[in-house]
Amino acid sequence: MILRETLAELNEIELQLTKLPLFDYLKRGTSYVSVTEVGTYTGKPKSDKGWAYVNQHLKPELPDKPYICFYPMSKLRIPGANWYTLTYDERRQFMHDHGTVGRTYAGKIWQYITGSIGLDDFEWGVTLFAETPLMFKKIIAEMRYYEASSVYGEFPYFVVGTHMDNAGLQKMFLENWEA
């Protein structure tokens, strides 16, 4: 996961990667482009704590947790399950119920939602961080029973990985290149 202020900065990183000798041996699996955002169903923050939450999600500092899970998602637009034909109040209530589950994982999972409408194939990206990948399984399984997900959510794939800092990357590459 790479965060930058602009798409131009992301493109520059991609260009730098293509110039590495290692790049000849890499295969692009998938990519996802989105921008940080805060959900619209909770309304405008009314307190300093609320604004702190907004700012934390608009300019995130990624937590130093060993595991990461990413998945794109969209809301369905099919007959009988079209999210966008629900009233705003109905959507807000479904998202409140969905969020109630998420809040029970506070301190166990760190979540970042990014918007990708017009930038990628799906509407949002969800990135989770945790001390153990079992937390991803627990929260995702529990949230699937709430209508926001069970009736209206589309989740095409999940990617789980581990965090590696710069020192770990250098060690991995040096040990492999020297062997």
Q: What is the pLDDT along the chain (179 residues), one digit of tens a residue?
A: 888 888 999 999 989 988 888 888 888 788 899 998 877 676 788 888 888 888 887 888 889 999 999 999 999 999 999 999 999 999 999 999 998 999 999 999 999 889 999 999 999 999 999 999 999 999 999 999 999 999 999 999 999 999 888 888 778 777 665 55
Q: What is the predicted pLDDT for the residue at 177?
A: 59
Tokens, residue 140:
């995702």
DSSP E strands in 25-167: the ranges are 35-36, 67-75, 77-78, 81-82, 109-115, 124-130, 153-154, 159-162
Q: What is the predicted pLDDT for the residue at 94?
A: 94
According to DSSP, residue 30 is labeled -
167 contacts 161 by C-beta, under 8 angstroms:
no
Helix (H) or strand (E) holding 15: helix 7-18
Whole-number Å distance between alpha carbons of 79 and 85: 10
Q: What is the predicted pLDDT for the residue at 164?
A: 82
Tell me, yes or no, if 71 is annotated catalytic: yes
Q: What is the predicted pLDDT for the residue at 55?
A: 83
Whole-number Å distance between alpha carbons of 55 and 38: 9
Whole-number Å distance between alpha carbons of 129 and 74: 21
HEC readout, 127-169 = EEEECCCHHHHHHHHHHCCCHHHHCCEECCCCEEEECCCHHHH
* Catalytic residue (choose from 32, 41, 67, 71): 71
Nearest to 35 by CA among 115, 111, 113, 110: 115
Q: What is the predicted pLDDT for the residue at 178?
A: 56
pTM of the model: 0.84
Q: What is the predicted pLDDT for the residue at 57?
A: 78
